[in-house]
Amino acid sequence: MDNDSVFYSARTGPTNPLLDQLPSYQSLLYRRKPANGGSKRRSSSRTRMGSSGSGRWGGATVALREEKTPPLQRPVRELPRTMAEKRRDREQRLEQDRELSSWRQRRRSLHRSLKRLRADLQERLSSLVLWRGDIHLIEGMFGTGILSYFSFLRFLVLLNLVIFLLMFSFVMLPIIIAPHAGGNVTFNQADGSVCSVYPTSARRGLVIFHEHITDLLSGGGFLEQTYLFYGYYKVHAISFPGFTYNLPLAYLLVTVAYLCLSLVWIVQRSATGFKRNLIQDEDRFQSFCNKIFAGWDCCITNEDAARLKRSSLLYELKTDLEEERIKQKIADRSRKERCRIYTIRLILNVFVIAVLAACFYSIYRATIFSQKAQMEKVNFMRDLIYEYLPSIVITLANFITPLLFSVIINFEDYSPAFEIRFTLMRCVFMRLTSIGVLLFSLWSQITQCKEGPCLCGYNHQLYSCWETRVGQEMYKLTVFDFIIIAAVTIFVEFPRKLMVNYCGCGLMRWWGQQEFAIPQNVLEIVYGQTICWIGTFYCPLLPAICTIKYFFIFYIKKVSLVNNCRPATRPFRASSSNFFFLVVLLIGLALASLPVMVGVGQINCSQACGPFVNYTVSWEVLPRTVSLLPNKALRDLLFALASEAVAVSLFVITCVGMFYVIALAGAHKRVINQLREQLVMEGRDKRFLIQKLCQAQRMTPARPPVPPGGPQPLARAGRDGSAGSRSSWGSPSYHTSFSTNHSDAMFLANAPPHGSTHV
Amino acid sequence: MGATASHLGKDLLSEYQELTFLTKQEILLAHKRFTELLSREDKNLPDPRAPTEAILTLPELKSNPFRERIVRVFSTSESRDGLTFEDFLDLLSAFSDSATLEIKSHYAFRIFDFDDDGTLDENDLEKLVNCLTGETDETRLTPDEMKQLISNILEESDIDKDGTVNLSEFQHVISRSPDFVSSFKIVL
């Protein structure tokens, strides 16, 4: 091919010192050196010629680079060169270092040993990461999409563990070590009023075994007056020698702290995902380049998984291409069709809202019925069912509604990508709001008294310690959730696999093997985490229970995945998965903080139990502590911070900042578009100039060879991405777009090789 | 080179640690796996070169559709056949967790450049897509779909509109691709 002959001639041509004086090459050196060495550019041009190892180019590039070594160098391992070349670079740098002063030398060697120490430390820390081997196995079998689910699960285990440690060390630990450390615990005194009567719920007399099980599953009976629930912490203060430990304040502050900590940790984890998803300025669902260039998970080691990955990639590409065509079709819709579609969508959305309202109402009624039924105990089985009635109704609703939504969405005629997102959003909303409805119905029961406004601010006859009750409901939800996950895996997925494998009838083949549906699984665990966040204020040991629960869920899901499941036909990409998980988790956190804030700030705390007996509302402990501070200036400052003036001004400043950043982003986008157009024009200009040059050469073949500053630079056209400045005629700068190369005048005398650059 | 087939010298190990992104454990594991690939006679050579067929039996590479390209790109021999241990370390370093995005995108570009001409033109892209979806006829895209796909890719990544993707355009589009770092990874 003509291309190859061009390369050969270029290889044997002498290196051109004038080439270094080209403005574009100069700017390349100084601009690119901190980012990547100029040698990198050379090495890529070398690979183009198909040679390896150090040829003439290798020597030439090293010589070039030596003239312009900048003070700041990249580490050798970041250069994309072979090991032998990297070794030579390193030795060169060491030699250069020897020429430096001894102080600089010492500093450099200190640098190096510090880096080595840090690498060793990181290596040791990474070996301590939980479940590394298991996750590596899953990655090899299923790819990075499902892997993201499991690393999300691992993140939740860690988060719950940290929340538990926070709660434990600030609330439980002082109480436990008080007798050993010489602390004096003062309990809340009952003031004798009718509000502070707390009938004990411990069972008396002979306790039948199954009652223990009922207690364990419902959090009542022997579990009620333990560290598990809020009601046990009747401590007012602990006076250690030297200082007094204000337990109610600590309890409140730890609640606020764990919510803030969760927020910060989640946002920090999703920061990279946010940046990418916000910066991508295309209106496609997923970039094709991302799918093609980053499409293959190189970590897959299993043949079957590789085959499935190929077919899922094919499916994904075909669907996305079809979606492009559908978008075109949507844009071409006539007005009549559009009206029809909008009316259908309106009707279906109203239907969805009606279904949601029906579910919420049934949860409300179930909760009220369950609360009333807990007053009279009849027999073991019925009691248990009545206790768990809200959980059962919530689980049923969350099982039926996704199926309904996925059927409805087919009639709404959205693009496939939007369909998936919209169904998911509906399911998320359903799952997380059902907890809110449960809590709302509980609270309506608690604050409703038979005759008019309540005496103590809450219904003290039915709920002498309502926080413990709420804690018990959250405990029951958690336990039931775990039982359901385990039961579905054991009693539905395993038999399904057995039936599909051993019974070849048509129905089984149609049903097929279980697919590991990532969105539904993620919603399950986010649901559990939301319950944990709400319930930790009322049940301080709940984070520990959730840690253990997620720990076991990891193994259950892993076993189920490896044995029962096949990967989903429509792959869930790792990047968008991470982003999606953390967004759903944030929504859960927001929805969880709402009930906690209402419970802390609005509803009167019970007078019979808990640390806040001496206050009307739990939040009151904070203003009262601030007013008791000795320092008047600090007191005034804290009160001023809590006033409306500060809140409003903060809000206004945030809005102004946001508008500024949005305007900046818009301006950047415009500049980017202009630069793109300019690049296209530059490319066209270059091609035009080359054509003219070729024509000129063709017209006068007997002309003496063009001065070295002329076409010869074209021989060295490297494959770097410099846009190239428009230098004067005779020395056009090189541009990587040329797949053809023109060397010196001899070749230009012939017809230029055809390539994509020629029209 | 200072390394016998069975044992890596300590200073050689620390040199490799400095020149690659691999940790000490990973280098030792790589050495072990590499010597398993060598035939009996090769083991006694000073700088043995494992043949391509042996390398392609590694489970990490066996299912990879670009395995032959990967071996070709990292090979330093004249005929681009077979990897020495240092080539193997270069391979693992580029595919490791801690490699920079630039290294990964540079080598990815070389791997995807099937005709080794320094740009990704339509033929390269077509071969790339066929590798990804499978080699048999049922698993390929139709010619219309392929044309649509390639025009979409070029629309997204070809900044100067010359019909090919060069290295810096490729690196630009990769820097905006969120999946690349996690998918371009091989851990022994």
Q: What is the CATH number of the domain that holds B163?
A: 1.10.238.10
Residue B5 lies in a domain: no
In the predicted model, is pLDDT for residue B66 greater than 70? yes
Q: Are B123 and B164 found together in one domain?
A: yes
Closest CA in chain A for residue B156? A289
Give the pLDDT confidence score for residue A276 in this predicted structure: 58
Residue from A576, A125, A35 nearest B101 by CA:
A35
Give the pLDDT confidence score for residue A306 in this predicted structure: 83
Q: What angle do CA A678, A680, A682 make, to 5 degrees?
A: 70
Q: Is A326 exposed, middle or buried (0-12, 13-18, 19+ CB in 10 A)?
A: middle
Q: What angle do CA B181, A83, A11 make, to 5 degrees?
A: 100
Least CB-CB distance to B132: which of A83, A303, A310? A310
SS3 state at A237: strand
State which of B45, B67, B94 marks the end of a domain.
B94
Q: What angle do CA B80, B86, B91 make, to 5 degrees?
A: 70
Closest CA in chain B for residue A289? B153
pLDDT in tens, A156-169: 999 999 999 999 99
pLDDT in tens, B27-39: 999 999 888 888 8
Closest CA in chain A for residue B159? A676
Chain B positions in Cβ-Cβ contact with residue A48 (cut-off 8 Å): 116-118
Residue B188 lies in a domain: no
- Residue B109 and residue B171 in contact, taking contact as beta carbons nearer than 8 Å: yes
| Residues 541-600, chain A, touching B (beta carbon < 8 A) | 573-576
Q: Are B129 and B168 found together in one domain?
A: yes
What is the rounded CA–CA span in Å between residue A742 and residue A747?
7
Cα–Cα separations (whole angstroms), residue A126 to A569, A626, B23, B30, B184:
33, 44, 11, 18, 20
- Total domains in chain B come to 2
- Residue A428 and residue A523 in contact, taking contact as beta carbons nearer than 8 Å: yes
Q: Are B158 and B116 found together in one domain?
A: yes
Q: Tokens 């990075």 belong to which residue?
A: A144
Enter the DSSP assignment of A491. Answer: I
Give a three-class secondary structure readout of A422-477: HHHHHHHHHHHHHHHHHHHHHHHHHCCCCCCCCCCCCCCCCCCCHHHHHHHHHHHH
Tally C-beta pairs within 8 A across A and B: 225
Q: Are B67 and B28 found together in one domain?
A: yes
Q: Are B63 and B130 found together in one domain?
A: no
Q: Are B114 and B82 found together in one domain?
A: no
| Residues 125-164, chain B, touching A (beta carbon < 8 A) | 125, 128-129, 132-134, 139, 141, 145, 148-149, 152-153, 156-157, 159-164
| Residues 25-84, chain B, touching A (beta carbon < 8 A) | 25, 59-60, 62-66, 75-78, 80
What is the rounded CA–CA span in Å between residue A558 and residue B62?
25
Q: Tokens 């089985």 belong to which residue?
A: A381
State which of B44, B72, B94 marks the end of a domain.
B94
Give the pLDDT confidence score for residue A164 in this predicted structure: 95
What is the rounded CA–CA span in Å between residue A437 and residue A632?
44
Residue B43 lies in a domain: yes
What is the rounded CA–CA span in Å between residue A145 and residue A154?
15
Judged by CB atoms closer than 8 Å, whether chains meet at A47 and B178 is answered as no
pTM equals 0.75
Q: Are B178 and B111 found together in one domain?
A: yes
**In chain A, which residues have pLDDT < 50?**
1-20, 22, 24-25, 27-71, 281-285, 708-759
Q: Tokens 């066996």 belong to which residue?
A: B62
Residue from A61, A580, A513, A372 nearest B178 by CA:
A580
Helix axis angle, B101-112 to B167-175, nearest 10°: 130
What is the rounded CA–CA span in Å between residue A256 and residue A258?
6
Residue B120 lies in a domain: yes
Give the pLDDT confidence score for residue A118 in this predicted structure: 86
Give the pLDDT confidence score for residue A732 in this predicted structure: 33
Residues paired with B21 in a beta bridge: none
Give the pLDDT confidence score for residue A337 in this predicted structure: 86
Enter the DSSP assignment of A238. Answer: E
Residue B4 lies in a domain: no
Residue A594 amino acid letter:
L
Residue B38 lies in a domain: yes
State which of B94, B128, B158 marks the end of a domain.
B94
Cα–Cα separations (whole angstroms), residue A708 to A29, A701, A720:
21, 17, 21
Q: How far is CA A64 from the centre of its chain?
A: 45
| Domain hosting residue B15, numbered range | 10-94
Residue B77 lies in a domain: yes
SS3 state at A235: strand
Q: Is A239 on the interface with B (CB under 8 A)?
A: no
Least CB-CB distance to B65: which of A45, A296, A757? A296
- Residue A577 and residue A183 in contact, taking contact as beta carbons nearer than 8 Å: no
Helix axis angle, A518-535 to A144-167, nearest 10°: 10
- Residue A89 and residue A76 in contact, taking contact as beta carbons nearer than 8 Å: yes
Q: What angle do CA A580, A581, A586 make, to 5 degrees?
A: 95
Give the pLDDT confidence score for residue A79 in this predicted structure: 80
Closest CA in chain B for residue A273? B178
Residue A701, token pair as written in the block: 């073949």
Question: Which sign, positive or negative, has the C-alpha torsion B176, B179, B181, B183?
Answer: negative
Q: Are B85 and B109 found together in one domain?
A: no
Q: Are B143 and B175 found together in one domain?
A: yes
Residue A493 amino acid letter:
E
Residue from B66, B117, B96, B89 nearest B181 by CA:
B96
CB atoms closer than 10 angstroms to residue A586: 16
Give the pLDDT confidence score for residue A521 in this predicted structure: 87
Residue B2 lies in a domain: no
Q: Are B83 and B147 found together in one domain?
A: no
Q: Are B84 and B122 found together in one domain?
A: no
Q: Pairing relation of β-strands A235-240 and B49-50? A: unpaired
Least confident of A408-422, B7-21, B83-97: A408-422
Closest CA in chain A for residue B110? A47
Residue A269 amino acid letter:
R
Give the pLDDT confidence score for residue A354 in this predicted structure: 94
Q: How far is CA A227 from the centre of its chain?
A: 34
Q: Is A507 exposed, middle or buried (0-12, 13-18, 19+ CB in 10 A)?
A: exposed
Q: Contacts for A210-215 with beta carbons within 8 Å, 24 or more apart?
A: A210/A380, A211/A380, A214/A380, A214/A383, A214/A384, A214/A387
Q: Are B149 and B111 found together in one domain?
A: yes
